């Protein structure tokens, strides 16, 4: 029986993995009324047209997809409590996780102490819960896949493996950061998305950077090169839209205008991403990952060196004097006993062929 998780229904928990500092929980069901009605329709001009996945329209993710995602991310040393919802989104559940105590949902950007800090943290959580309501509701209407770092949860609607791999790549990317850098990343993301240029200039190319890192992690977690090639058909097209949006944000136009332009021109940007995926000649390396079948001996040697513990890389075991002697000694060419006068070391007390005992001297005796 799986353990209870904040924001999840225990009976819907499909997989659960605990680590030293966190956990990974998968919840699966497809009984999402809004997503299965209006969401399927609105996803066609948005998600499926952008990613060229029209064949996936009106399809729900399968339980096998949840199994695949768990299998590829279960070995991550999670530092927080990550919840993955496959086939549905939960407005109340994400709000509960956004408001939960730090001990109940680890891995979120809350570490303030003392009374003033706790008051600020509570106010911040209330604000996050408020925006989480609208963000999760909007995701239901368009069946959008997303990772919510403030609730440390991922929502997967798309039946393609690559989409879920990318969202869990976001979770692992934030999992790799310490709390200070995690807070900094989330502040930059928040300012860029919600405040906009009217108050502060978004960090240049920050959004496309985080999207790139999520796909880079996904590339390493895929099991085979075939999965990578199939996944890149949607990952590169999606990343092209983020890159175009960051370029557009550097203009001097007001944010409402750039948002309107981006909503229209993101489609040509995705087409450019699809064309790059299919026409770019170097198909053996994408998002910083060299395909398994294309790795040279140099790549393999480097990766093996990174896997070795530091103590083994820095300190090699030394051989004893006896081990050196055994390793360098040459086997005799025949089983004949040595003949006096032919030189060589004498290691036997047996008589020579002429009946005499072998000579022993300082030059023929080995001492340790």
Instruction: State the average pLDDT over residues 124-144.
Output: 94
* Torsion angle defined by CA atoms of residues 281, 286, 288 and 291, in that order, rounded to the nearest 10 degrees: -90
Looking at the predicted structure, is the pLDDT value of residue 350 above 60? no
Cβ-count burial of 175 within 10 angstroms (0-12 exposed, 13-18 middle, 19+ buried)?
buried
Through-space distance between the first and last CA atoms of the chain, rounded to whole angstroms: 64
367: its two tokens: 């001492």
Distance CA 172, CA 164 (A): 12
pLDDT one-digit tens code per residue, 82-113: 999 999 999 999 999 999 998 999 998 877 67
Q: What is the DSSP letter of 334?
A: S
Share above pLDDT 90 across residues of the chain, in percent, rounded to a whole number: 51
pLDDT one-digit tens code per residue, 230-245: 999 999 999 999 998 8
Looking at the predicted structure, is the pLDDT value of residue 316 above 70? no
In the chain, domain spans = 1-176, 178-295
Instruction: State the average pLDDT over residues 13-21.
Output: 95
Q: What is the reported pLDDT for 84?
A: 98
Distance CA 7, CA 93 (A): 4
Looking at the predicted structure, is the pLDDT value of residue 307 above 60? no
Least confident range from 73-87, 101-115, 127-141: namely 101-115
Instruction: State the average pLDDT over residues 161-183.
Output: 91
pLDDT one-digit tens code per residue, 275-285: 999 888 777 78
Of the candidates 167, 252, 279, 266, the one whose C-alpha atom is nearest the C-alpha of residue 214 is 167
Distance CA 147, CA 217 (A): 14
pLDDT one-digit tens code per residue, 179-229: 778 778 777 776 655 444 444 455 678 889 999 999 999 999 999 999 999
81-86 and 153-156 strand pairing: parallel
Q: What is the reported pLDDT for 368?
A: 38
Q: What is the DSSP letter of 118?
A: H
More confident of the two residues 364 and 129: 129
């Amino acid at each position: 029986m799986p353990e209870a998780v904040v924001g999840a229904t225990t009976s819907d928990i499909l997989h659960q993995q605990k680590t030293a500092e966190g956990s990974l929980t998968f919840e699966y069901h497809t009984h999402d009324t809004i997503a299965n009605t209006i969401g399927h329709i609105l996803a066609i001009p948005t998600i499926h047209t952008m990613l060229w996945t029209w064949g996936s329209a009106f399809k729900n993710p399968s339980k096998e997809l949840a199994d695949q995602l768990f299998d590829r991310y279960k070995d991550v040393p999670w530092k927080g409590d990550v919840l993955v919802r496959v086939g549905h989104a939960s407005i109340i559940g994400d709000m509960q996780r956004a408001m939960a105590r730090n001990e109940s949902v680890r891995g979120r950007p809350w570490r303030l102490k003392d009374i003033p800090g706790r008051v600020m943290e509570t106010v911040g959580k209330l604000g996050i819960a408020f925006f989480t309501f609208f963000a999760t509701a909007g995701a239901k209407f368009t069946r959008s896949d997303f990772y919510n770092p403030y609730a440390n949860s991922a929502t997967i609607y798309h039946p393609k493996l690559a989409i879920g791999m990318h969202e869990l790549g976001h979770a692992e990317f934030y999992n790799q950061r310490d709390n200070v850098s995690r807070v900094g990343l989330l502040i930059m993301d928040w300012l860029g998305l919600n405040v906009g240029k009217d108050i502060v200039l978004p960090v240049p190319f920050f959004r496309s950077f985080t999207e790139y890192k999520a796909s880079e992690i996904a590339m390493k977690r895929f099991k085979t090169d075939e999965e990578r090639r199939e996944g890149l058909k949607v990952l590169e097209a999606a990343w092209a839209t983020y890159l175009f949006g960051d370029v557009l944000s550097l203009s001097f136009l007001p944010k409402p205008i750039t948002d309107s332009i981006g909503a229209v021109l993101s489609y040509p940007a995705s087409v450019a991403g699809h064309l790059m995926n299919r026409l770019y000649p170097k198909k053996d390396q994408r998002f910083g990952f060299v395909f398994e079948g294309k790795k040279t001996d140099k790549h393999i040697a480097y990766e093996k060196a990174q896997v070795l513990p530091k103590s083994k890389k820095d300190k090699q075991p030394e051989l004893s004097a006896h081990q050196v002697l055994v390793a360098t000694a040459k086997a005799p060419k025949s089983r004949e006993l040595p003949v006096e006068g032919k030189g060589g070391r004498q290691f036997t007390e047996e008589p020579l062929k002429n009946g005499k005992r072998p000579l022993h001297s300082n030059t023929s005796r080995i001492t340790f």
